[in-house]
Structure 1
Amino acid sequence: MTQKQRPPAVPALCKPLAPDGGWGWMVVLGVALANMTTQSLVSTFGLLFGQALHDMGQATTGAALVMNFMSATTNLSGLITGPIMKLLSYRQVALIGAVLFSMGLLLSSMATNITHLILTYSILSGLGLGLTGPSSFVALSTYFNTKRGRAVGLALVGTGMGQMLMPQVVRFFLEWYDFSGAMLLLSAISLHAVFAAWLYRPLEGPSESKPVEDPELRSLRRISNAEMSSELGMEVIAPEVREDEVKKVKECDLEEEIT
């Protein structure tokens, strides 16, 4: 007599659906604002630090050291951005990066030698920039799928506008204030990236997700059923996974790519 046995349900995977709009456009605004107030300041390095490095006696070599250390720190921070984003949301990572970047500018206002600038501007601000950039584009990729190209293009408008406006702002600050005053004001401007990061609202809730069964799990279920039938001599019925048995596990595709 053939026995029928119901095997345990296999959970399906659930991924957040990119809404391609809605609050996603606020995320685009946030990324544009973050780019304008952080990345755009890097392009004003020569104008901002030129006289200060000359006063330190490091006009040429010092400029190369500060910029190279900052570039290295920003790029190497990618090694820790992925693991951090497994522990924290992209909003939290962007907030940390924005605070570090602003703090680096604030501490650079008190710099009296090249070593001080490397520690504050190159390393601290560079690390903040390295955390803010990737987390911002992870937020964009989470909210947009079919309209991702348009969203990224609009977000990069902030970088372009910042690179046009920031040199004028820096020149105005240096004319009316000294180097320290200009750095303090730029530090305050860069804090707008904190507000921008608050707009990176993570996708949460069952209304924004739907269960999607992983093909590998489906194949695994079939193989398991066949093995049970041959070993136990039973006809195993593979039921459809009921909605109340589906365990929703949220994943973000871009986080896997970063890893």
Structure 2
Amino acid sequence: MGGAVVDEGPTGVKAPDGGWGWAVLFGCFVITGFSYAFPKAVSVFFKELIQEFGIGYSDTAWISSILLAMLYGTGPLCSVCVNRFGCRPVMLVGGLFASLGMVAASFCRSIIQVYLTTGVITGLGLALNFQPSLIMLNRYFSKRRPMANGLAAAGSPVFLCALSPLGQLLQDRYGWRGGFLILGGLLLNCCVCAALMRPLVAMAQPGSGPPRSSRRLLDLSVFRDRGFVLYAVAA
């Protein structure tokens, strides 16, 4: 019986287009929901933060801004981590970061501390979950990829409709500190989703050694694509 070779890259194993891919799709649905909805849903706590710290609306708006900046601005870091460690370990660490940031924020005594915990730490954690989850989704789906991406993207409106009322309920019952603490626990579900991101496994051919996997931290070959360069410049 041949040994098993773990597929750490986007090629090497045919996408199953089903099977365990549906579990991966569910995990990606949840991660996408948290990543897109959380920076907006956290705004329900801004009124209490204004009263707590004696600040203005523009000061609280920085929380969502930093969250989004970390989510979209740390793409190169996420790529390096995924190429070095793989998707599942990066997502597990990201889930811990996302939860830790919100739990730490519940003990903050200044708005700057909230920026660092909710904005930077939680934002980084969500980023370390969001981008690797999309990578895994595209590895598991090929022919059904448009449908899979559409279903995963549906997590954004679903979670936005759910997290905002939940945040308001938590604020009314437990205050913003208790609400942040509970949301931190809720974000631990990102680790559960990370556990679903099982790497694809291929059976090694008899008499052949394991395939070499590329470990380049940065792959700049995309810049040789003229269409991509034109799109990037236009954007």
Relative to the length of structure 1, the TM-score reads 0.74
1:19 aligns with 2:5: no
Q: Which residue of 1 aligns with 2:135?
A: 138
Alignment partner for residue 128 of structure 1, among 125, 129, 132?
Answer: 125
Alignment partner for residue 202 of structure 1, among 199, 202, 208?
Answer: 199
Larger Rg belongs to:
1
Q: Report the Cα offset of residue 171 of structure 1.
A: 1.1
| Aligned equivalents of 1:70, 1:197: Cα separation in 2 | 20
Return the letter of the residue paired with 2:212. Answer: V
Secondary structure class of the residue paired with 2:160:
helix
Q: Report the Cα offset of residue 169 of structure 1.
A: 0.7
| Aligned equivalents of 2:53, 2:85: Cα separation in 1 | 40
Instruction: Tell me if structure 1 keeps the 8 A contact 2:170–2:179.
Output: yes
1:34 aligns with 2:40: no
| Aligned equivalents of 2:220, 2:146: Cα separation in 1 | 18
| Larger mean Cα displacement after TM superposition, 103-112 or 151-160 | 151-160
Alignment partner for residue 60 of structure 1, among 57, 61, 66?
Answer: 57
Q: How many residues align?
A: 210
Q: Report the Cα offset of residue 201 of structure 1.
A: 0.4
Instruction: Tell me if structure 2 keeps the 8 A contact 1:15–1:249.
Output: no
Correspondence list, 1:1-259, <5 A: 15-206=12-203, 244-245=207-208, 248-250=211-213
| Aligned equivalents of 1:15, 1:92: Cα separation in 2 | 20
Return the letter of the residue paired with 1:119. Answer: L
RMSD over aligned CA atoms reads 2.4
Unaligned runs of 5+ in 2: 1-10, 223-235
| Aligned equivalents of 1:176, 1:102: Cα separation in 2 | 21
Q: State the identity %.
A: 24
Unaligned runs of 5+ in 1: 1-13, 211-242
| Aligned equivalents of 2:174, 2:208: Cα separation in 1 | 65
| Aligned equivalents of 1:94, 1:102: Cα separation in 2 | 12
Q: Deviations over 1:163-196 (max 9, x none)?
A: 1111111111111111111111111111111111
Kindly tell me: are residues 88 and 21 of structure 1, through their superposed partners in 2, closer, same or farther at Cα, counting changes over 3 Å?
A: same
Kindly tell me: are residues 257 and 140 of structure 1, through their superposed partners in 2, closer, same or farther at Cα, counting changes over 3 Å?
A: farther
| Aligned equivalents of 1:175, 1:203: Cα separation in 2 | 45
Return the letter of the residue paired with 2:78. Answer: T
| Aligned equivalents of 1:244, 1:105: Cα separation in 2 | 51
| Aligned equivalents of 1:114, 1:153: Cα separation in 2 | 37
Return the letter of the residue paired with 1:249. Answer: R
Kindly tell me: are residues 123 and 174 of structure 1, through their superposed partners in 2, closer, same or farther at Cα, counting changes over 3 Å?
A: same
| Aligned equivalents of 1:41, 1:123: Cα separation in 2 | 14
Q: Report the Cα offset of residue 162 of structure 1.
A: 0.6
| Aligned equivalents of 1:142, 1:69: Cα separation in 2 | 30
Return the letter of the residue paired with 1:150. Answer: M
Q: Deviations over 1:196-220 (max 9, x none)?
A: 111010102327xx8xxxxxxxxxx
Return the letter of the residue paired with 1:163. Answer: L
Q: Report the Cα offset of residue 256 of structure 1.
A: 5.2
Kindly tell me: are residues 248 and 79 of structure 1, through their superposed partners in 2, closer, same or farther at Cα, counting changes over 3 Å?
A: closer
Secondary structure class of the residue paired with 2:166:
helix
| Aligned equivalents of 1:256, 1:149: Cα separation in 2 | 25
Instruction: Tell me if structure 1 keeps the 8 A contact 2:49–2:60.
Output: no
Q: Which residue of 1 aligns with 2:229?
A: none
